[in-house]
Amino acid sequence: MARPELTNIRSPKVKAARRLAKRAFRERDRAFLAEGPQAVREALRLEGVTVELYATAEAESRHAEIVTEAARAGVPVHPVSGEVMAELAQTVTPQGVLAVCRLLHVPLAEAVGADTRLVAVLAHVRDPGNAGTVLRTADAAGADAVVFTDASVDPYNGKCVRASAGSLFHLPVAMGEPVARAVGHLRERGLTVLAADGSGERTLDDVDLSGPTAWVFGNEAWGLPEEILRSADEVVRVPIYGKAESLNLATAAAVCLYASARAQREK
């Protein structure tokens, strides 16, 4: 039997999903929105994470495997009009498929264990696009976990989820911990805590990165506060060989994480 298409943007179901664009409702409902085929595919690979799926007729035709996988997993699929998808989506040009997912983060003690070798810590990072890109980079570099401290952006922010390109579903994410507590736990687990900051006296070229390492990355505009720099085992800067004043957060994080990944694999 054909499923009825949702066409009313004021329907209770649409309004319940749309409100997940706001952090307060995400926390209350313990759910968030994953928009676009890449994010939805990765969400469906995790059992019990996807609550329901919304798709336009065009998207159902283009991404039939997603709808099939959702049905196989017992996930309700709701056909929606273009107007309803535009209401649900947080992008100017929606890709026509969107999922409601359960929150994924885990306690810090679960995310970072005795065998953890590479961690990215986001301290006071407020830009969701940068945060999502760092999460994606950490995943690509083979990091074991990403930590969003209590003063950082919500990893379930729509822009952050999109920028992670599905990586949010790939590795443990801890959130809400004060920086000092996170650094203490990382050190207890045997990781060297390195603060990535332009004020560092030593560069990536001067530091042994072959051991278990946690990189702490700071705010896009003002970097890391003095107390965080003091709490790290070492403050390290990315060497600038040309005339650029600095690197942006996501690029610097990529350089640092891949330097660690390469050193650890060579060892």
Taken in order of first residue, the domains within the chain and their CATH numbers are 12-102 (3.30.1330.30), 108-266 (3.40.1280.10)
**Residue 200: predicted pLDDT:** 85
**Residue 233: predicted pLDDT:** 94
**Residue 220: predicted pLDDT:** 77
Is residue 101 within 8 A of residue 44, CB to CB? The reply is no
**Residue 2: predicted pLDDT:** 58
**Residue 67: predicted pLDDT:** 94
Give the residue ranges of the chain where pLDDT is below 70: 1-2
Place of tokens 């997912």: 101
Q: Which two tokens stand for residue 197?
A: 């900051």
Is pTM beyond 0.75? Reply is yes
| Backbone angles phi and psi of 205, in degrees to 5 | -70, -20
User: How is 152-192 classified by DSSP, letter by letter?
Assistant: SPPTTSHHHHHHHTTGGGTS-EEEEE-HHHHHHHHHHTT-E
CA dist 193 and 266 (Å) reads 20
Residues 6+ apart with CB under 8 A from 153: 122, 125, 126, 127, 128, 131, 160
**Residue 267: predicted pLDDT:** 73
